[in-house]
Amino acid sequence: MKGKLRTTILSAAASLVLLWYAAGTGAQPILATGPDADATEEDLHRVDPSIMEAAWVRPDLDLSRYSRILLVPTGVQFREVPDRHYNVLNRGDVTEFALDDGKKEWLRGLWRRAIDARFAQEPSYEFYDGVGPDVLVVQGFLVDVVSRIPPVTVGSDYSLVRDPWSANVVLELRDGTTAELLARTIDRRNAEGLVDVGTVWVRTEDLVEVWARVLFDRLQQLSDLGAAGPGTPTWAR
């Protein structure tokens, strides 16, 4: 079940994020039927942006009935970037760089370890390696990951990297019995500024830890929203 659930969630998250981000960060997700519908196709309703910038939850969200968490293995999806040849003549035209399989796997490992480490610091959550009616399935993704770090080769004159990374940090919550989607949050995060090309990969480890904290903070916010149980949602638009 875990493998199937992981594939399904990552595909859905990637599709929604790419469509939402392509329209701009202030855009709505894909809406259900009707011009005034403020809900996704999964019947998730937009949380008031003054509370959370990009979050969608079920109208009857009730997280108080979950006492344990299943932290499902995380996923990372990279933007498809042409593996172009570049040199001093065209370097100004090349701003996004393809990652080889080794770097992609390295980043996936960083993300998994950062998530595990961040959640391990929180004693109030009881973790469970299984499913059941009181189990909340939690999964975090990095979607549309973009690298602006040029490959360093012999004779390369790159010394600084500007805005080396960007990615969408996506959190999804599902019911541990039905796998029903309960909530989704999306945060576009950018690593901004100039970074020395010699230290950018080491500093990437710190950046991924920051992204893991974003995921954890969103879970905390959703827990607060859904703690009171069903009723008239004061947080909905």
* Poorest-pLDDT segment among 17-21, 27-31, 69-73, 158-162: 27-31
Contacts 24+ apart (CB under 8 A), 228-234: 228/64, 229/62, 229/64, 229/65, 230/60, 230/61, 230/62, 233/45, 233/59, 233/61
Confidence band of 227 (pLDDT split at 50, 70, 90): low
- Look at 29 and 45; give whichever has higher pLDDT: 45
- Look at 113 and 162; give whichever has higher pLDDT: 113
Neighbours of 48 (CB within 10 A): 13
pLDDT 10s digits, 79-131? 998 776 655 555 556 678 888 999 999 999 999 999 999 988 877 778 778 88
- Mean pLDDT of the residues in the chain: 75
Rg from Cα positions in the chain: 19
Instruction: Tell me which range, 115-124, 147-156, 212-221, is most confidently predicted by mean pLDDT.
Output: 212-221
- Look at 134 and 13; give whichever has higher pLDDT: 134
pLDDT 10s digits, 180-211? 999 999 999 988 778 887 778 888 999 999 99
pLDDT 10s digits, 2-12? 343 333 334 44
- What is the reported pLDDT for 142? 94
Q: Check if the beta carbon of residue 13 is closer than 8 Å to that of residue 185.
A: no
Ordered DSSP codes for 173-222:
EEETTT--EEEEEEEEEEE-SEEETTTHHHHHHHHHHHHHHHHHHHHHHH
